[in-house]
């Protein structure tokens, strides 16, 4: 008898579970069945467009409206990295293109203009558009002309737009992509800060860092071997004075896209965990995420609360792209440190499981370096860029170092008393205990695979910054000590 009751109880629990699941699915289908195409619009307004990393103000509770978007295509020369120029093709004069913010039910009247000085026809494919080509079939526009088309936004989410003129890959690879946000009714939950970041991979005739005006390399693009993988169109777009900012206790939302044209992004903020991730820019929300995948032509919305002060490094966690190809930025959080959240170093020492020698890759002695003749100002500028991609993770953006781990470069007696020692440190690396500004540090710095010119520039920048003694280092000084 007891056995029969047990079986009966299990059957009832099973049937109840099935019913509950079906009810939830039915409710969700009901929620998703809203036909936003039938929402009537009220009045009209000009869309606010912004260049990265800024975004237009939130939609909030405004009604659906006729939203006029006016965007100009510009082919223009810009800076890819220090001394490296590139001719970008842009929507609105920036890479990525202008951020467009809408809400479900809006009727968008899109004015696409092709500047008369441009050389090529272009169009636009917006992934938020339901219709042939995402608008591309209606928007092919020659230089000096304008096309107008309209569409209803009927799916909430964060969507990529890009040029779809043949060869499509070339137009995207030259920077023709951006994001359009379609907010749900009532808007997104409020946060304190919002920013716009978009990753792209670039293919140049010269290798990474090759100076001068670089042209697009179709063979590299087809082989998917980019020289640069960057945020917002160039190396250093979110470092060296361009950092994103927030204060302790604030919530931050990042609208993140991947223009590609080829690579998938492994988006990560070092030292932060995403509280909420809108997976691929849609309705599905994942929580407590360390790294989120963003496909080429895809997006994600991430938000998190910043709990303690410091510099939080933004990367593509396909990590060589970050530290060797440019996909790196900084979120600078100001305020009080929270020792309950992060204590900092409470014990220090050396752990060298591979032995005490400093390892380095062999460097070819056959290559002959061509050293440019730079002014002091040019050295400092070049050195700042090298510092931003090579040194700042350990020594921080203002040369303050990391307490009990990496020594400060600002007002450093260790540097200022012996410039030859500073050069040798970069050339050969350094291990063991040293004293800097009266404090002991015991860590390992590997040798840096930099040219004589690069070492001279970065040290000149360091000596010219943060209260140091303004020593100018020359490539010849480095060569003598190599």
Highest CATH level, class, for 38-187: mainly beta
Which residues, in sequence order, are CB contacts of 115 under 8 Å at separation 6+?
Answer: 72, 73, 74, 75, 143, 144
268 assigned binding-site residue: no
Which residues, in sequence order, are CB contacts of 173 under 8 Å at separation 6+?
Answer: 200, 201, 202, 203, 216, 221, 261
122 assigned binding-site residue: yes
Name the helix (H) or strand (E) containing 107.
Answer: strand 107-114
Q: How many residues does the structure list for the chain?
A: 482
In the numeric block, the tokens 């409206």 are attached to 65
Q: Cα dist. 371→324, 452, 475 in Å?
A: 21, 8, 8
Residue 243, both tokens: 């950092």
The whole model's pTM is what? Answer: 0.74
Q: Which of 148, 74, 165, 85 is nearest to 117 (CA)?
A: 74
Q: Which of 256, 251, 261 is nearest to 294 (CA)?
A: 256
Residue 52, both tokens: 């990265």
- Partners of residue 88 on adjacent β-strands: 76
127 assigned binding-site residue: yes
27 assigned binding-site residue: no
Domain 194-334 in the same topology as domain 38-187: yes
Domain layout of the chain by residue ranges: 38-187, 194-334, 376-481
277/450 Cα distance (integer angstroms)? 38
111 assigned binding-site residue: no
Residues 194-334, CATH architecture? Sandwich (2.60)
Q: Cα dist. 180→130, 321, 348, 387, 415 in Å?
A: 14, 26, 48, 34, 49
213/203 Cα distance (integer angstroms)? 13
Residue 463, both tokens: 């000596």
183/14 Cα distance (integer angstroms)? 39
335-368: pLDDT as tens digits: 998 988 988 766 655 544 544 444 555 554 444 5
Tens of pLDDT along the chain (482 residues) come to 544 545 455 555 555 555 445 444 444 444 456 888 899 999 999 999 999 999 999 999 999 999 999 999 999 999 999 899 999 999 999 999 999 999 999 999 999 999 999 999 999 999 999 999 999 999 999 999 999 999 999 999 999 999 999 999 999 999 999 999 999 999 999 999 999 999 999 999 999 999 999 999 999 999 999 999 999 999 999 998 899 999 999 999 999 999 999 999 999 999 999 999 999 999 999 999 999 999 999 999 999 999 999 999 999 999 999 999 999 999 999 999 898 898 876 665 554 454 444 455 555 444 456 678 899 999 999 999 888 777 877 788 889 987 767 799 999 999 999 999 999 999 988 877 899 999 988 777 877 888 999 999 999 999 999 999 999 999 999 999 98
- On whether the CB atoms of residues 158 and 281 are closer than 8 A, the answer is yes
* Homologous superfamily assigned to 376-481: Cytochrome c-like domain (1.10.760.10)
């Amino acid at each position: 008898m007891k056995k029969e009751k047990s079986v009966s109880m299990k059957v009832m629990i099973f049937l109840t579970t099935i019913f509950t699941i079906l009810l939830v699915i039915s409710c969700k289908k009901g929620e998703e069945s809203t036909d936003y195409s039938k929402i009537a619009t009220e009045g009209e307004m000009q869309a606010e467009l912004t260049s990265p990393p800024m975004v237009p103000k939130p939609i909030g509770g405004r009604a659906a409206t006729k939203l006029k978007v006016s965007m100009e295509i510009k082919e223009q020369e810009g800076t890819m990295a220090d001394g490296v120029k590139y001719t970008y093709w842009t929507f609105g004069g920036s890479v990525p293109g202008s951020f467009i913010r809408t809400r479900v039910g809006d009727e968008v009247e899109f004015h696409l203009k092709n500047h008369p000085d441009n050389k090529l026809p272009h169009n636009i494919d917006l992934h938020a558009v339901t219709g042939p080509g995402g608008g591309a079939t209606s928007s092919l526009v020659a230089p000096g002309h304008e096309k107008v088309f309209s569409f209803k936004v009927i799916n909430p989410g964060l969507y990529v737009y890009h040029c779809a003129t043949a060869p499509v890959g070339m137009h995207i690879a030259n920077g023709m992509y951006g994001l359009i946000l379609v907010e749900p009714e009532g808007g997104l939950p409020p946060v304190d800060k919002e920013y716009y970041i978009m990753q792209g991979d670039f293919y140049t005739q010269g290798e990474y860092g090759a100076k001068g005006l670089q042209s697009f390399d179709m063979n590299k693009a087809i082989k998917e071997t980019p020289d640069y993988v960057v945020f917002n169109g160039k190396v250093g777009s979110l470092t060296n004075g361009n950092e994103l900012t927030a204060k302790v206790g604030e919530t931050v939302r990042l609208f993140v896209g991947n223009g590609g044209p080829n690579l998938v992004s492994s988006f990560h903020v070092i030292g932060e965990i995403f509280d909420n991730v809108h997976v691929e820019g849609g309705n599905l929300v994942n929580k407590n995420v360390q790294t989120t995948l963003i496909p080429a032509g895809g997006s994600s919305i991430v938000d998190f609360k910043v709990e303690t002060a410091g510099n939080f490094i933004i990367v593509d966690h396909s990590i060589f792209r970050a530290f060797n190809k440019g996909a790196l930025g900084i979120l600078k959080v100001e305020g009080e440190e929270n020792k309950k959240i992060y204590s900092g170093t409470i014990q220090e020492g050396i752990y060298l499981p591979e032995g005490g020698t400093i390892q380095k890759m062999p460097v070819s002695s056959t290559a002959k370096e061509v050293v440019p003749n730079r002014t002091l100002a040019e050295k400092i500028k070049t050195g700042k860029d090298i510092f931003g991609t090579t040194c700042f993770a350990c020594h921080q953006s203002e040369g303050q170092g990391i307490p009990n781990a990496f020594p400060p470069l600002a007002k450093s007696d260790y540097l200022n008393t012996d410039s030859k020692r500073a050069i040798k440190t970069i050339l050969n690396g350094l291990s063991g205990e040293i004293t800097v500004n009266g404090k002991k540090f015991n860590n390992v710095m590997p040798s840096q695979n930099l040219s004589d010119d690069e070492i001279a520039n970065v040290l000149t920048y360091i000596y010219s910054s943060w209260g140091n003694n303004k020593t100018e280092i020359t490539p010849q000084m480095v060569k003598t000590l190599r």
